Structure formats: structure tokens, C-alpha cells
């Protein structure tokens, strides 16, 4: 997808907004259809531009070195595999030592020179140490990928301030510290800083409030660094994935009515027509990083959402209210479970069947095994 994939719908949104401001008030009132045609046009432009985008080329990365945070599972592991497949050496970091060991074994079995560093990216003192160890592992750094993240799902009534702090520490403060620590090594190699943000950084989805707050901040961080680091010779790529089949539903934390929260989240994340495979996403991201592209929106749905929100935020907000109205409310006795434990009951059995590709992705990408199976 070229830069016009994102620019076309956003320019259309801006033009439509200007037209509506210049239009006489009486005409706006009498015009039938209101904002809906504009929203539909913006969404169509987003989908069409993404659909017409050419397939990415494959840039070889022999001799390059990539650090991927949260690289032991999910999209992070898929990214590490893709860097390695193109000839790069890879350093992955994660909190769980056993999970990290499995990831390194997986990469080495594929012929990828790999190192694992156990770390908690939330540790304020850990960023400098992580980057120094990663640089020392193979002598230099060419890519640093801020990928580590957490997903907390539930109505805001049952989420505590600690949920928000944890999300911000993982998906804003950690990328900030790691990015700053990486400026020196990347400026020496003319390297690339890659930040995996989210469509949740452009649209605050109900029952994902801590995640969205952190991702909005992360988008601002990545875009700002992209502008400021160019003079240092560091290229910055802001990645906006849509829904991806990475098996993240098993590691997410569900609060309130945990089983019902799990149902809608796992189904939405895993349906083939609205989500992208992890391998496809990794190929797009690594190619964008190799070419120094400043922005990448991965799925047509994500492009359409970005365009629709830019064109008519009021309409999108109304749709989010509708969505919030049909999601589970806070129960009298809220519970908190990880996805691997919340996957219970007949409904979630049907969800597993409908989202079977996501279940396979979870098994392939080192995600937590499903409770009881």
C-alpha cells in the first residue's frame, strides 16, 4: 500500500469538511441524507484505496539487526520470524522467561540468529539496559520495533485506575523510553524505529478504554518522533493495524462478565472477512520498515475507520454509543480472567468454531494454551 492509501481518504475527508463549513446553513439543514453520504463516501475511498494497493515487494535484510519488544508471541513473534526470513538477526524481549525461551528456539529452528532478553518494558530503568544489550548481541542495531502491549477488556465501571496505569506504562511510557534510548544506535546505522499502534489509537472503542487511551498517546508519540528524528537520520514508521489474527484473545484480560466480554472480543478479532493474518501483517510491516515508510495502515477496514472518523466524528461517536449499548453491562459480582480461562460455555465454543483461524494463530504464535485444552 502506497502513501496514497491513507492520504486519499483523509484528503477526501478534509475536502468534505471544508465544503460543509462553506455551505449555507439553510442548505445544510434542508439537504437530505445529512452526513451519511459523506461518511459512506469516505469509507468507500478508504476501502477502495487499500484494495487497489499493490502487493509489497520483499527487501532483503542480510546483515541487519532488529530488536522486537514483546517478541515472544503473537504479532511480535511473527515480526521476528519475518525479519529473520529476510536475513536479519533478531533480538526479542519479553517478561516470561519460558515463553521467551520457546520463541528463541522457534526462531533458531528456522535458521534465524536470535537472542532473547528477559525484561519488563514497564521498568523505568530497563530501557537503556535493553537497548544496550540488544546492540551488543550482534554489534549494532538497524531496527527497533515497539510492539509490546496488553489488552484489558471490560466496562469502565469495573476497571480501576491501575488498569489505566498499566496500559500507559506498557504502551506509552515504555515506547517513549525505548525510542529515546534507541536514537543513538539507530542514528549510527541510519536505522528505523517502528511503533505498532492500533486502530484503537484513532477510535476509542467501548470496553477497551485503557487500551485506547494508551494507543492514542502512542500514535502521537510516533508521529511526533517521525517529524523530529528525520534530522538525525532515523526513519520512523507508524503502523496502524486493524483487527489481526494473532491469538491475542487468549492473553487479553477480561473484567466484569468475563465470559461474555471474551465472546465479542474473540469473535471480532478472529473473523476472516474483517481481520488480517499475522503473517500478512508482519510482511507488510517489515517491508514498510525496510523502505522507511512513515505510515502504514494495514487493513481496508482500518483505513475506512480512519477516513470515516476524520470525515464525520459525530456519526462515528453515535455508532460507538450503539455498540456500547449492546455490550455486557457490569455484573453485581465482577470477575477478572485471562482469555485462556474465560473461554468457557457453549457460546464461546461456537466462537471458537467461527474464529478457527485465530485459534490456529494462537497455537502457532506461542500464545497461552486454552484453559482445559
Q: Does a structural domain hold residue 237?
A: yes
Asked whether residue 46 is domain-assigned, the answer is no
| 183 to 178, 180, 206: CA distances (angstroms) | 9, 5, 35
Q: What pLDDT sits at residue 58? A: 87
Task: Flag whether 52 is in a domain.
Answer: no
Mean pLDDT of 229-257: 95
**pLDDT digit string (tens) for 186-213?**
999 999 999 999 999 999 999 999 999 9
Which pLDDT value is given to residue 273? 78
CA 52 to chain centre: 23
CA distance 362 to 355: 11
Closest CA to 112 of 132, 93, 92: 92
* Per-residue confidence (pLDDT) for residue 368, from 0 to 100: 86
Active site residue: 83, 138, 143, 211, which one?
A: 211
What pLDDT, on the 0 to 100 scale, is given for residue 142?
98
- Average pLDDT in the chain: 88
- Please indicate whether residue 21 or residue 95 has the higher confidence score (pLDDT): 95
**203 part of a folded domain:** yes
Lowest mean pLDDT across 114-123, 186-195, 247-256, 263-272 = 263-272
**Model confidence, pTM:** 0.84
pLDDT of 371 = 65
In whole angstroms, what is the distance from residue 109 CA to residue 80 CA? 13
Active site residue 211: yes
Domain count for the chain, please give it: 1
The CATH number that applies at residue 201 is 3.40.50.720
**How many CA atoms does the CB half-sphere of 227 hold within 13 Å?**
5
Structural domain for 178, as ranges:
65-247+276-297
* Residue 231 domain-assigned (yes or no): yes
> Which pLDDT band, with edges at 50, 70 and 90, does 140 fall under?
very high
Q: Please give the average per-residue pLDDT across 76-87, as a whole number.
A: 98
Per-residue pLDDT, averaged over 346-366, amounts to 91
Instruction: Classify 93 as helix, strand or coil.
Output: strand
Is residue 90 one of the residues assigned to a domain?
A: yes
Residue 80 lies in a domain: yes
- Is there a domain that residue 72 lies in? yes
**Contact 198/146 with Cβ under 8 angstroms?**
no
Average pLDDT over residues 244-248: 93
DSSP 243: S
Q: How far apart are CA 12 and CA 315, in angstroms?
A: 16
* Cell numbers given for 372: 482445559
**pLDDT per position as a tens digit, 24-80:** 444 444 444 444 444 444 444 444 444 444 455 789 999 999 999 999 999 999 999
Enumerate the H helices of the chain as residue ranges.
4-22, 25-30, 36-51, 74-85, 97-109, 126-138, 161-168, 174-189, 209-228, 258-270, 278-291, 300-311, 313-326, 339-342, 345-354, 356-364
Asked if residues 103 and 92 have their Cβ atoms less than 8 Å apart, the reply is: yes
Amino acid at each position: 500500500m502506497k502513501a496514497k492509501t491513507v492520504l486519499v481518504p483523509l484528503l477526501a475527508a478534509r475536502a468534505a469538511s471544508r465544503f460543509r463549513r462553506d455551505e449555507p446553513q439553510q442548505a445544510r439543514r434542508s439537504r437530505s441524507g445529512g452526513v451519511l453520504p459523506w461518511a459512506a463516501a469516505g469509507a468507500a475511498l478508504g476501502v477502495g484505496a487499500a484494495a487497489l494497493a499493490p502487493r509489497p515487494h520483499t527487501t532483503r535484510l542480510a546483515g541487519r539487526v532488529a530488536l522486537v519488544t514483546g517478541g515472544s508471541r503473537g504479532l511480535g513473534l511473527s515480526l521476528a520470524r519475518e525479519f529473520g526470513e529476510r536475513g536479519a538477526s533478531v533480538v526479542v524481549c519479553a517478561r516470561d522467561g519460558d515463553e521467551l525461551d520457546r520463541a528463541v528456539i522457534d526462531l533458531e529452528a528456522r535458521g534465524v540468529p536470535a537472542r532473547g532478553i528477559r525484561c519488563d518494558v514497564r521498568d523505568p530503568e530497563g530501557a537503556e539496559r535493553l537497548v544496550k544489550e540488544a546492540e551488543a548481541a550482534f554489534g549494532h542495531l538497524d531496527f527497533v520495533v515497539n510492539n509490546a502491549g496488553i489488552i484489558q477488556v471490560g466496562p469502565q465501571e469495573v476497571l480501576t485506575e491501575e488498569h489505566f496505569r498499566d496500559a500507559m506504562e506498557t504502551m506509552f511510557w515504555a515506547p517513549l523510553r525505548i525510542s529515546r534510548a534507541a536514537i543513538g544506535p539507530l542514528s549510527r546505522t541510519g536505522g528505523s524505529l517502528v511503533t505498532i499502534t492500533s486502530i484503537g489509537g484513532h477510535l476509542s472503542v467501548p470496553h477497551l478504554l485503557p487500551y485506547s487511551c494508551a494507543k492514542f498517546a502512542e500514535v502521537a508519540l510516533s508521529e511526533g518522533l517521525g517529524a523530529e528524528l528525520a534530522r538525525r537520520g532515523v526513519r520512523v514508521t507508524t503502523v496502524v493495524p486493524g483487527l489481526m489474527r494473532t491469538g491475542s484473545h487468549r492473553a487479553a484480560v477480561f473484567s466484569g462478565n468475563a465470559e461474555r466480554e471474551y465472546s465479542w472480543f474473540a469473535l471480532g478479532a478472529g473473523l476472516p472477512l474483517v481481520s488480517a493474518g499475522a503473517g500478512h501483517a508482519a510482511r507488510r510491516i517489515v517491508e514498510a520498515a525496510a523502505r522507511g515508510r512513515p505510515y502504514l495502515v494495514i487493513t481496508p477496514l482500518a483505513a475506512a475507520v480512519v477516513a470515516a472518523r476524520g470525515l464525520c466524528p459525530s456519526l462515528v461517536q453515535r455508532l460507538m454509543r450503539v455498540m456500547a449499548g449492546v455490550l455486557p453491562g457490569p455484573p453485581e459480582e465482577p470477575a477478572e480472567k485471562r482469555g485462556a480461562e474465560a473461554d468457557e460455555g457453549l457460546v464461546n465454543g461456537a466462537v471458537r468454531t467461527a474464529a478457527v483461524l485465530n485459534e490456529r494463530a494462537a497455537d502457532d504464535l506461542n500464545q497461552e494454551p486454552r484453559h482445559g485444552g
